[in-house]
Amino acid sequence: MPLSCSQLSVLYGRRKALNGFSLSMEPGEIRALIGPNGSGKSTALQALAGLIAPAEGRAEIEGVAAASMSRRAIAKKLAFLPQQPTAPDEMTIAQLVRQGRFPHVGLFRSYGRKDEEAIEWALESTGLTSLADRTLQELSGGERQRAWISAALAQEAGILLLDEPTSFLDIGYQVEVLDLVHRLSRERGVTIVMAIHDINQAIAVSDRISLLEKGELRFDGEPRALAESGLIEQTFRVKGRFVEVAPDKPPHFDVELTKLS
């Protein structure tokens, strides 16, 4: 199993942000992590990436406890795009994406052809080839977001953790990123966990969905089962209904904008 965790709990001070969270990923699976603001999605991703030590339970990368692995060892297997990544403003896209290759090239070794190809592919996949020499401060929010996605891709890890990769993106690029996620999974067998707010995008792109509420796992299963559970309305405290769009496609959640009517 490429990635799993069992009974993971994370404390910030005395407050439990994640309580007994479990997840097991099949190779090449796409998992959407959904839940209200503050429900523990980013915390869960950081714990899966081995960036926060859990108070209880453990995360495993290819069967090895993440807590026992070095950063570099983890980075060879897993790429993580945080919700709010930071880098110096004067860094260029090309530099940022090159940095994504860091776990492969080592401290003093130079970049080989395979590294250059990975960088080129990462830039191209995010539509950034022509912007590669721009600095991060010269980019729009969406371009910056794509630069970070590109850096994560250049890492060419078998596991990709994405924290709201489509926030800031216009609808065209949202679809493009989701399409890219789908292709990475299906064509390259990349295992992907992605925190995402758009329920319909989550349902459309993922094989399975984990729904968090106040740090607790409320649902773990296929999109259609989630649609049938009634949990979306309950958890997000909205009114709405699932509408069938096509027989071979999962239904679409149509939220009622009650306060606007």
Site residues (vs ligand ATP, CB under 6 A) = 12, 17, 35, 37-43, 83
Least separation, in Å, of the C-beta of 8 and ligand ATP? 12
Least separation, in Å, of the C-beta of 144 and Mg ion? 17
- Residue 38 interacts with, from Mg ion, ligand ATP, none (CB under 5-8 Å by kind): ligand ATP
Nearer to Mg ion, 153 or 194 (CB): 194
- Residue 40 interacts with, from Mg ion, ligand ATP, none (CB under 5-8 Å by kind): ligand ATP
Least separation, in Å, of the C-beta of 72 and ligand ATP? 24
Query: Which of 178, 181, 140 is closest to 159 using CA atoms?
Result: 181
End-to-end CA distance of the chain: 48
Least separation, in Å, of the C-beta of 167 and Mg ion? 10
Nearer to ligand ATP, 45 or 79 (CB): 45
Query: Which of 73, 61, 55 is closest to 23 using CA atoms?
Result: 61
Least separation, in Å, of the C-beta of 12 and Mg ion? 13
Nearer to Mg ion, 18 or 159 (CB): 18
Nearer to ligand ATP, 84 or 261 (CB): 84
C-alpha distances (whole Å) from 97 to each of 135, 199, 229, 235 are 12, 30, 41, 37
Pairing mode, if any, of strands 191-195 and 30-34? parallel
Nearer to ligand ATP, 48 or 122 (CB): 48
The shares of helix, strand and coil residues in the chain, as percent rounded to the nearest 5, are: 40, 25, 35
- Residue 43 interacts with, from Mg ion, ligand ATP, none (CB under 5-8 Å by kind): ligand ATP
Least separation, in Å, of the C-beta of 121 and ligand ATP? 29
Distance CA 10, CA 50 (A): 12
43-69 as b/e: b if 16+ CB within 10 A: bbbbbbbbbbebeebbbbbeeeebeeb
Which residues here bind Mg ion, judged by CB under 5 A?
41-42, 83
Distance CA 132, CA 123 (A): 8
- Residue 39 interacts with, from Mg ion, ligand ATP, none (CB under 5-8 Å by kind): ligand ATP
Nearer to Mg ion, 118 or 177 (CB): 177
Burial tier of 142 (Cβ tally within 10 Å: 0-12, 13-18, 19+)? middle
